[in-house]
A = this chain, B = another copy of it.
Amino acid sequence: MVKRVIIVGAVALGPKVACRLRRLDPEIQITVVDRDNLISYGGCGIPYYVGGDIADIEGLCSTSSHVVRDPEFFRTCKGVKIMPGVEAMGINRKEKKLDIQHLSDGRKESLEYDKLVIATGATPFRPPIPGADLPMVFTVSNLHNAKDIKDKISKGHVGKAVVIGAGAIGIEMAEALTDLWGVETTIIEMADQVLPTALGKNMSKVVENQLEKHGVKVMLSEKVECINGDADSQVTSVETSNGTMECDMVVLSAGVRPNTKFAADSGLAVGLSGALLVDRCMKTTDPDIYAGGDCVELRNLVSGENMTMPLGSLANRQGRIIANNIHGRASQFNGTVGTFCIKVFDMGVATAGLTSDQAKANGFDPVHAIVSQPDRAHFYPSAQLMFIKLIADSKTRKILGIEAVGGQDDAIKARVDAIAPLLQLGLNVDDVCVLETGYAPPFASAMDIINNAGNALDNILENLNKPIDVIDFVEAFKNDEIKVLDVREPKEAEPFVEKYRDRWMNIPQSELRERFNEVSRTDPVCLVCGTGARSYECQTLFVHNGFTNTINVQGGHAMISIIDPEFI
């Protein structure tokens, strides 16, 4: 019988396990230990605290009814004992004891458990470069750091900042520094794109442009070599392979590492990432020890491979599963499709599943469609352009991933959240074509962008739509390898025809049935319209008339102007 449960970690998953377990069982002894004194906080809210959307740090550690979630709150309201300022040092699995040390006075003791839960999370990675330990080099790991960063900025100590790493936290922090405080901010990223684990390069360009548009400088394919400080240990600049960036503050956002040393030392199995391995009941390789949140590997339900997915949302869902299992109710967490979203100034970005590169690395043969379309009925006044990339396996037609970017956050989320269940269940392109989603003009087009992404991908898989990715198009056009037939109305095409002359021809769709023979049947011809829909329709006309040389530019001019704003 389970009498004593010890939980290591009191940020997200730990408190969730504790509270759910107490609701299930009045008798069980529940103790949560944590290194920190600040517990049970919304760590994902830190960029919004720094950026001023949330005025006080208390906002992040209070309930929705404004009660601070401190040890006293857990004792009185939740019936849970919190031991703050306590570090877990090791696990004596044979005797079922957790060895701890009180950080205030160095005192050590052992706590007996019937079930142990490891909820130690992850720590931001501090790259081993000179200067990474200077005081003005911050990670975004806890509320203490968050306070320090905001304190320095609000006192006017920071004119220029460098953010190292263009993942979610790097981008959120860049927005926070720029938007409220006007700090001149540069993001430096090793990869050749922003959000490299979440987006394909084509879609990442939309985000890159958005950052630049809002004053954030983005430097890609650059490796940071050192961070320089002055005699007072103040940061002065960041040196990369390509040059030197002056700055007063550095934010490191180069990924996280799971906090699993004491657990791994006790012999619990860890994966390649260093995170703990758990089964679907969130049980480690020791039947009396559970783990969840940022310190475990989860099964990617699309690839079948293990991955880490450090998100408070997944941690909370897993917490309930762990409590159920400890209470004796079989309950499973099968894995993740990696659903992700981020606000980038006034733009929303959401993704789920694999990128094309990740799909290839996992043995799939990914094919994608990119569709640009208003997020609601095009005649509805608040409609804004949205871009969706849908990826499927060419052999099985199984959906592998979705990437969505556009102006209205929740509209982006709605599309990705509707596809995520299909990814979890291994459904295919045809299911996306007929997917039923909420429709009224203020919410969607009659044929929603999701369905049209499915339709476009179906057409590509069926070889009806012969596309070129917009990045490849822009490169090939610049290299003078292809000509363009613009099928928009003359007034839309005119500036392009003027700029590019004989390489940019215009026959509006309405005249194409009469005039298609004006087009070469031998040289490759890229068909362009506003979004890729009319040009696809024109391509079917060419194919029906025996042309084999037309290529449809995916996403049309809407995408071209994002990949290369200079294009026109």
Binding site for B on A (CB under 8 A): 12, 16, 19, 22-24, 26, 42, 44-45, 48, 53-54, 59-60, 62-65, 67, 73, 76-79, 168, 172, 311-317, 320-321, 331-334, 336-337, 339-343, 348, 350, 352, 373-374, 377-381, 408-411, 413-418, 420-422, 424-425, 430, 433-444, 446-448, 451, 455, 464, 488-489, 492, 509-511, 513, 529-531, 534, 536-537, 540-541, 544-545
Contacts and interface: CB of A to CB of B under 8 A. Distances in A.
A350 to B, nearest CB: 5
A341 B448 CA distance: 14
30 contacts: A22-B540, A24-B464, A44-B440, A45-B377, A45-B441, A48-B380, A54-B381, A63-B378, A65-B489, A67-B510, A73-B510, A76-B511, A78-B537, A79-B513, A79-B541, A311-B439, A317-B436, A317-B451, A331-B430, A336-B436, A350-B438, A352-B436, A409-B442, A410-B413, A411-B413, A413-B414, A417-B437, A420-B438, A421-B425, A424-B436
Contact of A446 (B315, B377, B534): B315
B509 A314 contact: no
Given A42-B379, A313-B448, A513-B79, A341 B439 contact: yes
Contacts of A48: 379-380, 441-442
B320 A455 contact: yes
A492 B64 CA distance: 13
Nearest to A446: B312
Contacts of A53: 380-381
A316 B446 contact: yes
A413 B437 contact: yes
Contacts of A63: 378
A339 B438 CA distance: 5
Contacts of A44: 377, 439-441, 446
Of A312, A421, A492, the most chain B CB neighbours within 10 A belong to: A421
A342 B510 contact: no
A442 B76 contact: no
Contacts of A430: 331
